[in-house]
């Protein structure tokens, strides 16, 4: 009986209609604040997870997870590929040639990254074949000096499939007449669209064609690796490199794209911290409502004390009530947050169609929709942290109630 007394009275105070409506309003406000804070935090973190996932899939799908290179001098690429594929974390390997240069068409020039690929093995390390919107890798393999451009670059240069572009590499050709930059006319055989900035800065060619332009004589720049664990890519490349007889350069995606993903993670933490302040404010509202409730219930507390209730039981009564307020708000917030995170893309699409507005322009951003990836670990962390705040916010008012003296409280009661 006495063990359940704090729960019985605390929950009864929660359900009862109070004479002071202002206290009830503050309690409802604190519950609504917790609900809103938890819901918004879950939805925003899910959207940021979605953007993070999209960027990983698109950018790191095109960028090699790791490379083993010896620019312009690697001739044992097949041996390296065979060694790499024996590693348990390596999912694919493909040789490549890569250089910076300039592409010219219709009196328009643009700096670009030229990437020579093996059309037979590129699918094992890159998502490029999945994002070719015109043409195919077979066209690239069959067309001498063919090239696949990003849709943005093709638009800037004013070219389409079948047109000619001139590729200039930072190498010099020496002849009797003069010294000239090395260049070659390529035929556009396809267009790709990843949705990232690579659409405007990457030209893909057959590895043999780019090797001829670079006068490599059958050599390549290196071998690209795709690993099953992004965050172990560097160690995986080192492990493969140690198995090789010759010395090669080893690199991974963190050298070129690491700062971008660190910035995303930092932004996620800062936004999460700022939104968590909503929950903290709701916790302060809980403190305010409980302090006013304790003041309003001094006579009832004094009566309970005279009937034998201990200080610990009085403390538990108000902790139960405050925790119940927080728990209800958290549960509702989690439910609404999960529903919102799973349907935010559809909600945004509906708003765009009804009000004829566009939140993300595909010409500016790499996607035209709001991605969302719900992580239950984030939900558990948000719910647990919010529950801790709710419990902590009840400690002072409950302690204040337990210190009320029955004689002092009943002195002025008629």
pLDDT at site 1: 41
Neighbours of 98 (CB within 10 A): 20
What are phi and psi for residue 182, nearest 5 degrees?
-80, 130
The DSSP symbol for 17 reads: P
Neighbours of 336 (CB within 10 A): 17
Contact 347, 46 (CB under 8 A): no
Contact 157, 110 (CB under 8 A): yes
Q: What are the residue ranges spanned by the domains of the chain? A: 5-57+261-410, 64-252
- How far from chain centre, in Å, is Cα 249? 30
Query: What is the pLDDT tens value at each position of the chain, 414 positions in all?
Result: 445 766 666 666 665 555 556 556 767 777 888 888 889 889 988 888 888 787 777 777 888 889 998 888 888 889 899 999 999 999 999 999 999 999 999 989 899 999 999 999 999 999 889 889 998 899 999 999 999 999 889 999 999 999 999 999 887 655 555 556 788 999 999 999 887 678 888 999 999 999 999 888 889 999 999 998 888 888 898 898 888 888 888 888 888 777 777 777 787 788 778 777 877 877 787 787 778 777 777 777 777 777 777 778 878 877 887 888 888 889 999 999 999 998 888 888 888 788 777 776 655 555 667 788 888 988 998 899 888 888 888 888 888 877 777 766 666 555
Question: Is 270 strand, coil or helix?
Answer: helix
pLDDT at site 2: 45
The DSSP symbol for 18 reads: P
pLDDT at site 363: 56
Write the CB contacts of 386 (distance below 8 Å, at least 6 apart in sequence): 34, 37, 38, 279, 326, 329, 330, 333
Task: List the Cα angle 207/227/94 in 5-degree steps.
Answer: 15
**What's the Cα-to-Cα distance from 306 to each of 156, 292, 302, 315, 410, rounded to whole Å?**
85, 22, 6, 15, 10
By CB atoms closer than 10 A (0-12, 13-18, 19+), residue 209 is: buried
Distance CA 360, CA 382 (A): 28
Tokens representing 211? 């090797």
What are phi and psi for residue 38, nearest 5 degrees?
-65, -45
Distance CA 222, CA 67 (A): 7
Nearest to 398 by CA among 307, 309, 293: 293
DSSP 171-225: EEEE-SS-EEEEEEEEEEEEEE--SSGGGGTEEEEEHHHHHHHHT-TT-EEEEEE
């Amino acid at each position: 009986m006495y063990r359940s007394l704090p729960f019985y009275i605390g929950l009864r105070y929660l359900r009862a209609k109070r004479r002071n409506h202002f206290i009830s309003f503050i309690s409802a406000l604190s519950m609504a604040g917790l609900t809103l804070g938890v819901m918004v935090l879950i939805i925003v973190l899910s959207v940021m997870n979605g953007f993070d996932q999209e960027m990983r899939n698109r950018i790191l799908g095109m960028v090699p997870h790791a490379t083993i290179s010896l620019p312009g001098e690697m001739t044992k690429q097949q041996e390296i590929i065979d060694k790499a594929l024996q590693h348990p974390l390596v999912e694919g390997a493909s040789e490549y040639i890569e250089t910076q240069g300039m592409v010219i068409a219709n009196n328009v020039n643009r700096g670009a990254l030229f990437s020579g690929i093996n059309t037979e093995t590129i699918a094992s390390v890159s998502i490029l074949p999945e994002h070719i919107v015109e043409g195919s890798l077979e066209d690239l393999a069959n067309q001498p000096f063919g090239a696949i451009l990003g849709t943005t670059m093709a638009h800037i240069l004013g070219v389409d499939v079948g047109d000619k572009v001139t590729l200039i590499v930072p190498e010099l050709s020496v002849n009797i007449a003069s010294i000239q930059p090395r260049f070659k006319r390529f035929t556009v055989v396809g267009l790709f669209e990843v949705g990232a900035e690579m659409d405007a800065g990457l030209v893909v060619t057959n590895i043999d064609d780019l090797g001829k332009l670079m006068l490599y004589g059958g050599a390549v720049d290196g071998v690209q690796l795709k690993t099953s664990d992004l965050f172990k890519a560097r160690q995986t490349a080192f492990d493969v490199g140690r198995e090789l007889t010759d010395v090669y350069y080893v690199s991974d995606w963190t050298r070129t794209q690491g700062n971008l993903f660190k910035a995303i993670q930092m932004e996620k933490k800062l936004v999460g911290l700022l939104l968590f302040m909503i929950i903290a404010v709701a916790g302060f509202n809980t403190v305010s409502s409980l302090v006013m409730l304790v003041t309003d219930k001094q006579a009832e507390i004094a009566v309970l004390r005279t009937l034998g209730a201990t200080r610990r039981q009085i403390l538990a009564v108000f902790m139960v009530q405050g925790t119940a307020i927080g728990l209800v708000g958290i549960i509702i917030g989690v439910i609404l947050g999960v529903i919102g995170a799973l349907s935010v893309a559809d909600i945004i699409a509906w708003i765009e169609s009804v009000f004829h507005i566009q939140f993300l322009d595909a010409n500016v951003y790499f996607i035209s929709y709001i991605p969302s990836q719900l992580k239950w670990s984030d939900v558990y962390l948000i719910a647990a942290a919010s529950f801790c705040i709710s419990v902590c916010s009840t400690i002072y008012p409950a302690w204040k109630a337990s210190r009320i003296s029955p004689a002092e409280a009943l002195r002025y009661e008629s």
